[in-house]
Amino acid sequence: MSETTVELCLELSEDDPFYQHKKKLLSSKGLGVKETMSLSGPLSQELLNAALEKLLQFGRIVNLDKVEVYFGDDACTPAGVYSVRNEISALTWIFSLIPASSCKPQTLEAALREAVEVRIGEVVGAEEKEARVDDSYRCEKEIILVEWCQRNGVKTKLQIAQIDGYGRGAIATEDLKFGDVALEIPISSIISEEHVYNSDMHQILEKIDGMTSETMMLLWTMREKHNHESKFKPYFDSLQESFCTGLSFGVDAIMVLDGTLLLDEIMQSKEVLRERYNELIPLLSNHKNVFPPEMYTWEHYLWACELYYSNSIQIKFPDGKLKTCLIPVAGFLNHSTCPHIVKYGKVDLETSSLKFPVSRPCNRGEQCYLSYGNYSSSHLLTFYGFLPKGDNPYDIIPLDVDVIHDDDDDDDEDMESESSWTTHMLRGTWLSSNHNIFHYGLPTPLLNYLRRAHGLVHHSETDLWENLEVEMGVLENLKSTFDDMMQNLGDADSMDRENVEWDVEMAMEFKERQRKIVSSILDSCSAGIKMVQEAITKPPV
Ligand SMILES: C[S@@+](CC[C@H](N)C(=O)[O-])C[C@H]1O[C@@H](n2cnc3c(N)ncnc32)[C@H](O)[C@@H]1O
């Protein structure tokens, strides 16, 4: 390897919505908001790994999202990993910082790039490696769609199959390494609002007050799926007859959800859809030739809403506009909290196509997953109809608290970032690595908020040791809130899961997961109360 020097400029953008919090986290690791890392080669593997570790410290913090910032360092593994999502984003960010000036092998840049790629390959998902394919399902409609797509310029390294527990899914037909494009779709094969504008519906719909392009697309889709001449017939033929999302939950499933916030989420969402439908349909009744009533029933409307909720993707077009689109083949990609495809959603100007590159390797035969977004399981259940495998770090329980803001604190930047949280939340405390006194596996911003509400603004751990009765009050308060929540959830259902409808089974599974989260919070409170009690009776020397 030739002797070179590589300078990497690491910077936390001032526009970052969590600038102060991240600045504080960086500072706790001895890092500033701007760092330059100078590397001189050749470097041994050991030194290269050490350099990558330093870069990762910075990259992880810069790439934290709201939930990760909130739960902070206590949610790190001993190796410093916050989440699979964060790890992949941090490594991809570091990769983008390595100067592309020299792509030649044997350079320090190439060695760094390789080290990042190796590290990305080591980030493992919670899903099974090999997809369990149901060979009895013949995928005829899906094959017709893929062939139609390929004739229209779609490039794919994915095969569609029926996969146990997922419905249809996309399987890699070859080993895909970091950066490989698994799927590329020309704009002409994407269903977007342009199709409504070019249809006879537009002149009617544009005159309706408050009509959005999303509603126009919904109404267009409801008719187009019956059009035998449609350009997108293979796409519409490949869609499910019915979608099993939370919006289609029956009465029994809804009853199982009693005591959960999901019950309100589903009921409210359904009510909103009903209201919209009732407002909209009378406006179309004077145009029966364009909007045939038999295609605009409530059932068809709900089907179209579920299609858009579970299958549409927001795409940024070259004109800068974000448009809701239906995308053939991409619509077969299932979601994972450890996805392969994270960066998508912007039309590539050069090729006028939408690319789906993998941000971590996906080997031949493995199911290739997309990230639908950082959603909680209640959102995924309501709008997509599934619960993700493994722990979902976004399964948070929001806490309804009045935010207190003390102007005196504002001089202190630490205090300012601490008290700037306008919402508080909790999640399964097994996700925390710090169960010591003053942490208990519970989020620090919430504990500090409750301490302030109990009259304690602390500046150091000594303040906490000197105010153990406040600590006790905080924990007892929290425990009482979650005792009530547990009581509302009730005991585990005694129904036999094997013999219940899909929606009741899903509702039972959701409630079970809620109980697990609440129970972990209660355990943490109880363990905390015991620790504080012991500290009060036997103060440490
Ligand atoms: C964009 S489609 C993906 C293809 C879909 N499986 C199919 O058969 O058409 C989204 C739907 O796939 C299913 N899905 C996505 N991710 C899943 C997951 N991790 N586990 C189970 N089902 C999933 C849900 O039914 C969701 O509404």
**CATH number of residue 318's parent domain:** 3.90.1410.10
Q: Look at 505 and 409; give whichever has higher pLDDT.
A: 505
Q: Is the pLDDT of residue 407 over 60?
A: no
Q: What is the mean pLDDT of the chain?
A: 92
CA of 373 to the centre of ligand 1 (A): 14
Tell me the residue length of the chain.
Answer: 541
Q: Are residues 84 and 227 in the same domain?
A: no
The per-residue pLDDT for range 498-520, each reduced to its tens digit, is 889 999 999 999 999 999 999 99
Is the four-CA dihedral 514, 519, 522, 527 of positive or negative sign? Answer: negative
Question: How much is the pLDDT for 400?
Answer: 83
Residue 160 and residue 134 in contact, taking contact as beta carbons nearer than 8 Å = no
Q: Is 136 part of any domain?
A: no
The per-residue pLDDT for range 81-107, each reduced to its tens digit, is 999 889 999 999 999 999 876 556 678
Q: Are residues 425 and 283 in the same domain?
A: no
Q: Look at 489 and 101; give whichever has higher pLDDT.
A: 489
**Residue closest to 353 by CA, chosen among 308, 314, 318, 313:** 318
What mean pLDDT is predicted for residues 452-465? 93
- The residue among 357, 383, 409 that closes a domain is 383
Question: How much is the pLDDT for 402?
Answer: 72
The per-residue pLDDT for range 270-280, each reduced to its tens digit, is 999 999 999 99
- Crossing angle (nearest 10°) for helices 19-28 and 45-62: 150
What mean pLDDT is predicted for residues 300-312? 98
Instruction: Name the residue at shortest CA distance from atom 8 of ligand 1.
Output: 168
CA of 82 to the centre of ligand 1 (A): 26
Question: How much is the pLDDT for 422?
Answer: 86
Q: Are residues 356 and 403 in the same domain?
A: no
Q: Look at 266 and 415; give whichever has higher pLDDT.
A: 266
CA of 385 to the centre of ligand 1 (A): 8
Say yes or no: CB of residue 331 within 6 Å of ligand 1: yes
ipTM > 0.90 (yes/no): yes
The per-residue pLDDT for range 182-227, each reduced to its tens digit, is 999 999 999 999 999 999 999 999 999 999 999 999 999 999 999 9
CA of 183 to the centre of ligand 1 (A): 17
The per-residue pLDDT for range 430-449, each reduced to its tens digit, is 999 999 999 999 999 999 99
CA of 193 to the centre of ligand 1 (A): 24
- The residue among 383, 407, 431 that closes a domain is 383
Q: Are residues 219 and 159 in the same domain?
A: yes
Q: Is 496 part of any domain?
A: yes
Q: Are residues 333 and 201 in the same domain?
A: yes
Residues paired with 156 in a beta bridge: 183
Share of residues in the chain with pLDDT > 90 (%): 83
CA of 406 to the centre of ligand 1 (A): 46
pTM above 0.90?
yes
Phi-psi region of 3 (alpha: psi -120 to 50; beta: other; left: phi over 0): beta
Q: Is 127 part of any domain?
A: no
Question: How much is the pLDDT for 415?
Answer: 59
Q: Are residues 117 and 187 in the same domain?
A: no
Q: Which atom of ligand 1 is found nearest the CA of 383?
A: 27
Average the pLDDT over each of 30-39, 97-106, 492-501 and give the range with the smallest value: 97-106
Q: Is 494 part of any domain?
A: yes
What mean pLDDT is predicted for residues 425-429? 98
Question: How much is the pLDDT for 286?
Answer: 94
Question: How much is the pLDDT for 414?
Answer: 59
Question: How much is the pLDDT for 106?
Answer: 74
Tokens encoding 126: 């919670």
Q: Is 389 part of any domain?
A: no
Say yes or no: CB of residue 42 within 6 Å of ligand 1: no
Share of residues in the chain with pLDDT > 70 (%): 94
Tokens encoding 282: 């009378």
Q: Are residues 346 and 292 in the same domain?
A: yes
Which residue range(s) make up the domain with 294?
Answer: 143-383
Say yes or no: CB of residue 388 within 6 Å of ligand 1: yes
Q: Which atom of ligand 1 is found nearest the CA of 388?
A: 19
Q: Is 262 part of any domain?
A: yes
Other Cβ atoms less than 10 A from the Cβ of 112: the count is 24
User: Per the omega criterion (within 30 degrees of 0), is the bond before 539 cis?
Assistant: no
Question: How much is the pLDDT for 5?
Answer: 86
Q: Is the pLDDT of residue 250 over 70?
A: yes
Q: Are residues 372 and 412 in the same domain?
A: no
Tokens encoding 188: 């002409």
Q: Are residues 34 and 114 in the same domain?
A: yes
pLDDT band at 236 (very low <50, low <70, confident <90, very high): very high
CA of 216 to the centre of ligand 1 (A): 25
- What number of CA atoms fall less than 13 Å from residue 353's CA on the CB side? 17
Say yes or no: CB of residue 335 within 6 Å of ligand 1: yes
Name the domain count of the chain. 3
Q: Are residues 524 and 377 in the same domain?
A: no
Residue 5 parent element (H or E): strand 5-11
Q: Which of 158, 241, 329, 335 for mutating ligand 1's site (highest number of atoms within 8 Å of CB)?
A: 335
Question: How much is the pLDDT for 405?
Answer: 58
Say yes or no: CB of residue 168 within 6 Å of ligand 1: yes
Q: CA-to-CA distance for 126 and 130, rounded, in angstroms?
A: 12
Question: How much is the pLDDT for 107?
Answer: 86
Say yes or no: CB of residue 310 within 6 Å of ligand 1: yes
Q: Is 294 part of any domain?
A: yes
The per-residue pLDDT for range 39-67, each reduced to its tens digit, is 887 788 898 999 999 999 999 999 999 99
Instruction: Name the residue at shortest CA distance from atom 15 of ligand 1.
Output: 334
Q: Are residues 180 and 320 in the same domain?
A: yes
From residue 377, give the alpha-carbon distance in Å to each of 87, 265, 515: 21, 12, 14
CA of 369 to the centre of ligand 1 (A): 10
Q: Is 107 part of any domain?
A: yes
Say yes or no: CB of residue 379 within 6 Å of ligand 1: no
Question: How much is the pLDDT for 418?
Answer: 67
CA of 167 to the centre of ligand 1 (A): 6
Q: Are residues 244 and 275 in the same domain?
A: yes
